[in-house]
Structure 1
Amino acid sequence: MSVWRVSLTAAFIWVAQAGTATDNDLSALYVERLDGSEVKFTLEDLDALEQVGFSTSTVWTDGINHFSGVSILNLLEHAEAEGSTLRMVALNDYSIEMPVEELDEKAPIVASRMNGDTMSIREKGPFWVIYPFDSDPEFASEINRSRSVWQLSRLVLVK
């Protein structure tokens, strides 16, 4: 009986691993171009790009926090991804689209750190689209709050 349990357990583990072998890496960010090709960015890849940071309050965190990461515009340029509409997708499949023309070098950013520390999935990471809400009333809009995708997994050019 114990040999049967060990064999069944080993088979279950093998099937579970095989099932996740093709899944996306949860600790990476994927940028999908219009032609369907994609570029994978690890935290190390993102850290190698020009970093942007700002301190701001959010409706999801306490007090003022410092967020740092890469501007989405810079990230798309680095991935050689062009288009007019960007869909931002979270790990839970929440998604929202925005016009690429509304991106600039300073906002929004894909934050990889809050107060200098990487963010776990539980802490809205590993990547969070964030705006400097306190720096300009334009950034504090409801639409920008809805575009502040935490647990970001993909940036997809759809048009």
Structure 2
Amino acid sequence: MLQTMARLLTLFPQLASGLVLTCLLCLGAPLSPAWADQPILSVAGPLDQGEPATFSLADLKALGMQTITTTTPWTGDETPTFTGPLLRDVLAAAKEAGRRLTVTAKDGYSVQIPFMDAADWNVILAIEMDGAPLDPTTYGPAWVIYPYDTNPILITDLYQERSIWKVVRIDME
């Protein structure tokens, strides 16, 4: 019995740290820099020769960060600043092209976005809002954001329905 208790006590720090990490992730704690290199997005398409392209937060930041300060129907009266790479730059880095994107969230919800939206508008794949990483329990890891306040056409339901959050996958057709 003493040996069993002694063994449990030696394992306690590992168990405790695993439990704390699990709790932080469940509560939506922001990802630490140590996880910045973990894949958060995959992009697949008709040009794929094997595995889809994957991107970590660091990879997405390396594509060049753009900012959009705009009102949205989801952020109340505030006008947040969103930061992330242009969607067209993400697709170019994945070496993908097509006519339509299927963008999928963590929970399996997906939307269709014409490829031309990425070409015609400065749509970003936001990974930060107001300088902080997107919270994985609300909008993160990534959120498709149009520059709504730049053109009245973008304030319509058609474009707002394409602003999917919790994005983890993009498929090209």
Q: What is the aligned partner in structure 2 of residue 58 from structure 1?
A: 72
2:62 corresponding residue in structure 1: 48
Identity of aligned residues (%): 30
Distance 1:146 1:105 in 2: 17
2:45 aligned to 21, 30, 33, which one? 33
Tell me, yes or no, if the aligned pair for 2:43 and 2:91 is still in contact at 8 Å.
Answer: yes
Counterparts of 1:89-104 in structure 2 under 5 Å? 89-104=104-119
Q: Please say if 1:67 is aligned against 2:87.
A: no
Alignment partners' CA distance in 2, 1:78 and 1:122: 27
**Structure having the higher Rg:** 2
Contact 2:39 2:54 in 1 (8 A): no
Paired residue type of 2:41? L
Question: What is the TM-score with the length of structure 1 in the denominator?
Answer: 0.78
Alpha-carbon shift at residue 37 of structure 1 (Å): 3.3
For 1:27 and 1:118, locate their aligned partners in 2 and report how far apart those are by CA, in whole Å: 15
Q: What is the match of residue 77 of structure 1?
A: 92
| CA RMSD across the alignment | 2.3
Q: Specify which structure has the higher proportion of strand.
A: 1
The question of whether the paired residues in 1 share the 8 Å contact of 2:84 and 2:124 is answered with yes
| Aligned: 1:143 with 2:158 | yes
How far did residue 67 of structure 1 move?
0.3
Q: State how many pairs are aligned.
A: 139
CA distance in 2, matches of 1:154, 1:54: 22
Query: Which ranges in structure 1 are unaligned for 5 or more consecutive residues?
Result: 7-25
Deviation at 1:114, TM superposition (A): 0.2
Match of 2:129 in 1: 114
Structure number with the higher helix fraction is 2
Aligned residue number for residue 143 of structure 2: 128
- CA–CA distance in 2 between the matches of 1:71 and 1:120? 20
Residues 127 and 28 (structure 1 numbering): CA distance in 2 closer, same or farther, change over 3 Å? same
Structure 1 residue 39: Cα displacement: 0.6
Q: Tell me, yes or no, if the aligned pair for 1:74 and 1:105 is still in contact at 8 Å.
A: no
- Secondary structure at 2:154 match in 1: coil
**1:103-136 CA distance string (max 9 Å, x none):** 2375221000000110121231110001111121
Structure 1 ranges of 4+ moved more than 6 A: none
Which deviates the most, 112-121 or 95-104?
95-104
Q: Which piece of structure 1 moves more, 26-35 or 47-56?
A: 26-35
